[in-house]
Structure 1
Amino acid sequence: MKLVTSLGAGAAFWLSSALTGATAQDLNVLCGVDKDWCLTMEAAFEQTTGLDVAMARRSTGEILEQIRDEKDDPQVDVWWGGTGDTHLQAAAEGLLEPYRPAHTGDALPWAQNFYQLSGGTASGVYAGALGFAYNSSVLTGNGLKAPSCWKDLTDPRYLGLVQLANPNSSGTAYTFLATLVQLLGEDEAIRYLAALAHNISHFTTSGAAPVKAAARGETGIGISFIHDAVTQQQAGAPLVIVAPCEGTGYEIGAVSIVKGAKHLQAARRFVNYSMSPEGQATGTASGQNQIPSNARAALPPAAPDISLIRMVDYDFATFGSPEQRRRLLDRFDKEVLGNSSPVVTQ
């Protein structure tokens, strides 16, 4: 497993739905990817199908909690995007509807493996490696040497210059936590995070927020998925992207139908579209750089070559279990957040 459309009307409708909680007649989707991709996907799907979609962007952990809270009366039909281990947790809790998308046969091996692992309830849409990016101007201005490894980020000279999301809300940060456990062992990973926390200025809600803050020069180093850093770099930010020397983990972003979805047929059409070459092309169209799961989909020109990155053999089965997630998050809250002073922001 180691691996358009005009957005004006769609943007206005998406913002209205997100702020007011309005429910569309045809389909309700929670989106776990970057907002620009949410908007592009919504507009493209509506144009292709004629269906009316209400789509709101949330962090992965927030989506999981909402689906849990609404399990007796689901208000959401589709969960699209976000790290696959949280989709697996939802599958293990019986919150997802089994479905085999029309394009499953075109999926790359890692996506087919993920589908089997989910019991046929979640499909892999894209993949991306974890890493960090530093703002060269910020580091140079502070007279700091550039980091190249995870261990470098605990150097006291980076005090207040690192940002990471909170793994309770962010699938990206939970992937980071699980990656460290697989690289270092659990106790050493927690000790590392406790040391890192002294350098962290903010624990954000969104996994992409740290690298966006680094791109704006609001922090020196942002821990995130590499494809999110590439997007910021393409926009002109003075970011240098690092695949850490010790190795790193990766995500499989997924799509799932919520069990008890009120618009099941429309939900199936959305999942089919998200797995098609046309649906996956909306990522590139919105400036995203994840690796698509459909073998017939075009690879974004700036997508990172993960074959050149030292990767852990990420254990989705273990770290996608609700019990393991809860236990690790409890340790994080007690031993990392409980002994540090950074604030939590959006």
Structure 2
Amino acid sequence: MQHKIFGWAAGTLLLAAATIANTALAGSITVYTALEEDEIADYVAQAKKDIPDVTVNVLRLSTGDLGARILAEAGNPQHDVIWGWAVTNMMDPRVLALVEPYAAKGSEKMGAAYVAADKKWFAATGYIGAFCVNTERLKQKNLPMPKSWADLLNPAFKGEIAMPNPVSSGTGYLQIVSILQNMGEEKGWAFLKQLDGNVNQYIKSGSRPCRQARAGEFAIGTSLAFAAIKSIEEGFPLAMVLPAEGAGYELEASGLMAASKNKADAKKFLDWTLSANAAGLYGKYKELVTLPGFKPGKVAREAGMPEDPGSILYKMDFAASAQQRDAILARWNKEIGR
């Protein structure tokens, strides 16, 4: 049966819609990821130089869609590696049952919070929730600069907020679960319903609300700190706001599929993700890197990111996030989703 996966070419992910062949190709692995397309292209190009004997074929989907695909294929997994996927999703027992313990080279130097006790996943990077605020639109509409989630309830912001949809977006889910964990269930749901009155759109992507805000479509996009930092660097009239209540965050986990028919090559790739060359690229795309010695760059600090990003993070309970995910999303869909 013909192999139906195509690798990253000319900056575009190509994956045939036909069923992926079960036949393993020597020196070739299939990687499922929720990382953003521009960073994937950069990482894969470097991996090609560093481990030229391994062809890395990539399927990129949004966080929620990737989870649905992995579970749908659980009886016959079509990939060798999960790469850079929300740890909240990775901790789903149904997913962990498909993953094999592997201590990637370099993982022993990482903090305990970033490596599973059973070695089924590790997280070299993560992302932090932040508001992208269009300063020109604020001036035009005489709106105040928000500093917290609570500030977004201001009636003046009605129709001026875009948020990621938590069902499809890991960023969206981390935002609502951080609110629920911070406020408690009763107050948290009441807050989310009140906030919904000011939200214009819920968008599938975690970065797109920031792009819409920087384009002036909305005053505020609740999004990612990195999206805000890049937009500021590119000259858009944008301010990054890290919520005063504490910024929710998510780790991006990677792991080895137990069903992989190319485990030696899959392990080479996982080792590479913790290599010095990989780490050297992460700062271009991430505000949260868990590898020893990392500090945010000048652009990030000028945008408002502290030298120690951990100081502004809300302490997330990822185990609870994973356990409650289905129930939270079901309730969100029923009471808020649109």
Scaled by the length of structure 2, the TM-score of the pair is: 0.87
**Is the 2:106–2:275 contact (alpha carbons within 8 Å) kept by the matching residues of 1?**
yes
CA RMSD of aligned residues (A): 2.4
**Is the 1:82–1:254 contact (alpha carbons within 8 Å) kept by the matching residues of 2?**
yes
3-state SS in 2 of match to 1:237: coil
Residues 310, 294 of structure 1: CA spacing in aligned structure 2 closer, same or farther, 3 A cutoff?
A: closer
Pair 1:318-2:315 in alignment: no
**Is the 2:11–2:41 contact (alpha carbons within 8 Å) kept by the matching residues of 1?**
no
3-state SS in 1 of match to 2:116: helix
Residues 279, 203 of structure 1: CA spacing in aligned structure 2 closer, same or farther, 3 A cutoff?
A: same
What CA distance in whole angstroms lies between the structure 2 residues aligned with 1:19 and 1:302? 40
Alignment partner, residue 292 of structure 1:
289
The count of corresponding residues between Structure 1 and Structure 2 is 322
Q: Give, as a single letter, the amino acid of the residue that structure 2 aligns with 1:156.
A: P
Pair 1:98-2:98 in alignment: no
After TM superposition, give the deviation of residue 141 of structure 1 in Å. Answer: 1.6
Alignment partner, residue 176 of structure 2:
177
**Is the 2:70–2:95 contact (alpha carbons within 8 Å) kept by the matching residues of 1?**
no
Q: Give, as a single letter, the amino acid of the residue that structure 2 aligns with 1:61.
A: G
Q: Deviations over 1:302-329 (max 9, x none)?
A: 34324585432211121122xx111111
Alignment partner, residue 116 of structure 2:
116
Residues 134, 154 of structure 1: CA spacing in aligned structure 2 closer, same or farther, 3 A cutoff?
A: same
The equivalences for 1:79-158 within 5 A come to 79-89=82-92, 93-107=96-110, 109=111, 112-117=112-117, 119-158=118-157
Alignment partner, residue 68 of structure 1:
71
Q: Deviations over 1:13-50 (max 9, x none)?
A: 64333778878940111222221111111111122111
Alignment partner, residue 28 of structure 1:
30
Alignment partner, residue 163 of structure 2:
164
Please list every run of 5 or more consecutive structure 2 residues that lacks an aligned counterpart in the other structure.
1-6
**Is the 1:32–1:58 contact (alpha carbons within 8 Å) kept by the matching residues of 2?**
yes
**Is the 1:68–1:95 contact (alpha carbons within 8 Å) kept by the matching residues of 2?**
no
**Is the 2:137–2:219 contact (alpha carbons within 8 Å) kept by the matching residues of 1?**
yes
What CA distance in whole angstroms lies between the structure 2 residues aligned with 1:17 and 1:201? 33
Scaled by the length of structure 1, the TM-score of the pair is: 0.85
After TM superposition, give the deviation of residue 71 of structure 1 in Å. Answer: 0.9
Q: 2:51 aligns with which of 39, 49, 52?
A: 49
Q: Give, as a single letter, the amino acid of the residue that structure 2 aligns with 1:17.
A: L
Alignment partner, residue 302 of structure 1:
299
Residues 292, 238 of structure 1: CA spacing in aligned structure 2 closer, same or farther, 3 A cutoff?
A: same
After TM superposition, give the deviation of residue 257 of structure 1 in Å. Answer: 2.0
Residues 104, 212 of structure 1: CA spacing in aligned structure 2 closer, same or farther, 3 A cutoff?
A: same
3-state SS in 2 of match to 1:45: helix
What CA distance in whole angstroms lies between the structure 2 residues aligned with 1:244 and 1:172? 14
Pair 1:258-2:257 in alignment: yes
Alignment partner, residue 40 of structure 1:
42
Q: Give, as a single letter, the amino acid of the residue that structure 2 aligns with 1:76.
A: H
Q: Deviations over 1:109-146 (max 9, x none)?
A: 2xx323235x3111011133322120111221222111
What CA distance in whole angstroms lies between the structure 1 residues aligned with 2:294 and 2:180? 33
Q: Give, as a single letter, the amino acid of the residue that structure 1 aligns with 2:14.
A: S
